[in-house]
Chains A and B, each alone.
Chain A
Amino acid sequence: QVQLQESGPGLVKPSGTLSLTCNVSGASVNSYYWSWIRQAPGKRLEWVGFSFYTGDTELNPFLGNRVTISVDTSKNQVSLTLNSVTAADTAVYHCAGGRGRSTWFDHWGQGVLVIVSS
């Protein structure tokens, strides 16, 4: 059974960097396209971007050049880095896996709440 577990600081200061890791178990990280999806309080789910182990990556333009998603095959992990955060980046961040480049999300992590505040 595929399990995803996000981890990282729950509190980040404004203008700082948000760094999260998603640990994948029950499957090889090479088998899926990995996305990060966030949900701000009271808002709809928002796709941040995806990455595949080959380096094939696509990011949501609304975040500009602030975001990086990478896949670490040696650790079977997926990472998210978001720079220059503001209060608008406060959200629950989920990692999710899909079998193909343009497919649904088969597996979701529980999510981690990240609050941007001084």
Chain B
Amino acid sequence: DIVMTQSPDTLAVSLGDRATIRCTSSHSLVYGANNKNYVSWYQQKPGQPPKLLIYWASTRDSGVPDRFSGAGSGTDFTLTISSLQAEDVAVYYCQQHHVTPWTFGQGTKVEI
């Protein structure tokens, strides 16, 4: 199975500051036929299901604020919140959908 490892496990950031989460994959997530990276990012708030933020490593889902951005290729990816807002407190997960079984990172808790 592809192992997804996130760092850090917990991230404390001041309001308005930048938050960056890293996700490392045990195998490359680039699909050769289209050169896309098969990794997505989700936000999960307490008592809620995960919500899609980013797909194909860097494409924001519809309605996601532009302070969220994704980057990376191959095995190293990042999710950045450019200016942390109070409503961004949540656990963030990366996920690979390149090879089954699909796998998730362990999650990064972002707090103020």
Contacts and interface: CB of A to CB of B under 8 A. Distances in A.
A101 to B, nearest CB: 9
Contact of A44 (B49, B55, B107): B107
Interface in A1-52: 35, 44-47
B49 A103 contact: no
Interface string B85-108: 000000001010110111111110
Interface residues of A, number: 21
Interface string A86-118: 000000001010100011111011110000000
Given A44-B93, A45-B95, A62-B101, A110 B38 contact: no
Contacts of A94: 49-50
Nearest to B100: A58
Contacts of B107: 44-45
A94 B52 CA distance: 14
A81 interface: no
A110 B101 contact: no
A47 B93 CA distance: 13
A106 B53 CA distance: 9
B52 A105 contact: yes
B92 to A, nearest CB: 12
A103 B55 contact: yes
Contacts of B100: 47, 58, 60
B105 A103 contact: no
